[in-house]
Amino acid sequence: MSGLSLFEKLWRQHCISELADGASLIHIDRIFLHERTGGVALQALDEAGYAVRNPQLAFATLDHIVDTLPGRSDKTLMPGGEAFIRITREQTRRNGIQLFDLGDARQGIVHVVSPELAIVLPGATMVCADSHTCTQGALGALAWGIGSSEAEHALATQTLRIVKPRSMRVTFDGSLPPGVGAKDMILALIARDSASGAQGSVAEFAGQAVQELSLEARMTLCNMAVEFSAFTGLIAPDQATFDYLEGRPFAPKGEGWTQALEAWRELHSDADAQFDFETRLDVSRLSPMLTWGTSPQHAVAVNQRVPDPAEVSDAATSQAMAKALAYMDLLPGQALAGLPIDAAFIGSCTNSRISDLRAAAELLRGRKVAAGVKAICVPGSTQVKRAAEAEGLDQVFIDAGFEWRESGCSMCFFAGGESFGHQQRVVSTTNRNFESRQGPLTRTHLASPVTVAASAIAGCIADPRQLQDD
């Protein structure tokens, strides 16, 4: 028999039974809720007469629709948003679920909070009613996004019915050049293999470049696995993972830590493991990436030009490209570098951790945001915010001309509240550049924190390597 992949090992450990319809019943170790769907799911469960099976295995935070302006209160700019917050508080209290509320030092974006508190652990299964739950696969967990009805089922039974995904290994060869990071890696992969490149698969990221990434950078990589159409992303835990987790609030302690390490060291794909799909990408000559269209696959190097739909043979792809160019107000062959911008955003579950803020601040130090550019930085959690302030990073952002906000999802997505405005061009560290994602007809270019910082300073799309060289 051939060896097992990491995904196969995790699946076998959590598979309770094979069902008659071809699906499997999988045990769920952790459930994370947020105020946009969590309170509603708990209320529906309550109204149906079901109890939460294991409240100690469920957690909740306020992140999606909370206000992030300094001095915030319970009010939210999203119409009707205060009701979601109220219901979440009532239902988590009623069901004995730990809530990281506003004012709690542990509050923040779910996919930032969970790893920094060690709620997610190697080998665990975790679900959340948010598509970017795949972020947490960076720690060797099988974590994926679900809907509200699935959240109800998981809360009531600690299980979910799942059709087993296929397996895929994505190997990133080589070492990253200076000025290039995990965001550039995943954008380059999706641009090359398309936004459906991992359709229906668990994508395990491997290779030298992945091993050399910090844990927070690995989270960025896994965060956008869903933009690759993967069921989830996954990275085998290693010593860097263990060092990151040790001593965190929900990590095992004492003898439990020793036992956990022993088990976690077995969580890797065997040398002869078989995958349904394999792909490789050499990153040794990779440049900073930037999206030009309305899909994460619409990406090129920041110093390249917009592609021409007429040069694409597939009619549907060509039409989609032309539509994206019209929405973004760009022309085939147009240079991206030098394109004027209206706003810059650093935040979201993709790039709002302390390492992201440090990298951006390094470029911003002693420089100013260009006149007319609205620049905003939203830390991913209250812990990240406090750590940044302890290092003086907040003052670097403020001195440069950025707004320094409270933690939350903020303008990663438009939910009827705050937005960047009609047809404004934004360079953003977020994960989606769909039409109107950050506001009505807002034009979003996805990029890394350093590319966003460089563009904010220049007042136009800019290559961060030029400022780093300076």
**Window from 54-58, 60-64, 74-78, 86-90 with minimum mean pLDDT:** 74-78
pLDDT 10s digits, 154-198: 999 999 999 999 999 999 999 999 999 999 999 999 999 999 999
- Position 239 scores a pLDDT of 98
Q: How confident is the model at residue 78 (pLDDT cuts 50, 70, 90)?
A: confident
Report CA 138 to chain centroid distance, whole Å: 11
Burial of 447 (0-12, 13-18, 19+ CB in 10 A): buried
Which one of 259, 286, 313 terminates a domain?
Answer: 286
Q: How far is residue 342's CA from residue 360's CA, in Å, rounded to a whole number?
A: 18
Mean pLDDT on 306-322: 97
* Residue percentage of the chain with pLDDT more than 90: 96
Strand bridging mode 289-291 / 201-206: unpaired
Q: 461 or 71, which is more confident? A: 461
Same-domain check for residues 79 and 111: yes
Strand bridging mode 15-18 / 24-27: antiparallel
Res. 469: pLDDT tops 80: no
Q: Which of 34, 70, 82 is nearest to 417 (CA)?
A: 82
Domain that holds residue 67: 1-286
Q: How confident is the model at residue 73 (pLDDT cuts 50, 70, 90)?
A: confident
Which one of 286, 302, 331 terminates a domain?
Answer: 286
- Position 270 scores a pLDDT of 97
Same-domain check for residues 254 and 345: no
Q: How confident is the model at residue 1 (pLDDT cuts 50, 70, 90)?
A: low
Same-domain check for residues 276 and 381: no
* Token pair in block for residue 235: 């990275």
Same-domain check for residues 32 and 150: yes
Mean pLDDT on 440-446: 97
CATH number at residue 64: 3.30.499.10
Angle, CA 62 vertex, CA 134 and CA 26 arms, to 5°: 35
Please provide the distance, in angstroms rounded to a whole number, between the alpha carbons at the two ends of the chain: 56
Same-domain check for residues 337 and 255: no
- Position 376 scores a pLDDT of 98
Q: How far is residue 300's CA from residue 335's CA, in Å, rounded to a whole number?
A: 11
**Window from 110-119, 270-279, 416-425 with minimum mean pLDDT:** 416-425
pLDDT 10s digits, 9-44: 999 999 999 999 999 999 999 999 999 999 999 999
Same-domain check for residues 223 and 77: yes
Q: What is the mean pLDDT of the chain?
A: 97
- Position 77 scores a pLDDT of 84
Same-domain check for residues 246 and 147: yes
Same-domain check for residues 296 and 411: yes
* Token pair in block for residue 8: 């196969």
Question: Under 8 Å CB-to-CB from 67, ≥6 apart: which residues?
Answer: 73, 75, 76, 77, 406, 408
Same-domain check for residues 62 and 119: yes
CB 326, CB 293: distance < 8 Å: no
pLDDT 10s digits, 378-417: 999 999 999 999 999 999 999 999 999 999 999 999 987 8
Q: How far is residue 451's CA from residue 377's CA, in Å, rounded to a whole number?
A: 14
Number of domains in the chain: 2
Which one of 231, 264, 286 terminates a domain?
Answer: 286
* Size (the chain), residues: 470
Same-domain check for residues 278 and 328: no
- Position 418 scores a pLDDT of 87
* Residue percentage of the chain with pLDDT more than 70: 100
Element (H, E) at 360: helix 354-364
Question: Rounded to 5 degrees, what are φ and ψ at 291?
Answer: -85, 145
Same-domain check for residues 276 and 312: no
Same-domain check for residues 350 and 262: no
Element (H, E) at 10: helix 6-14
Mean pLDDT on 357-375: 98
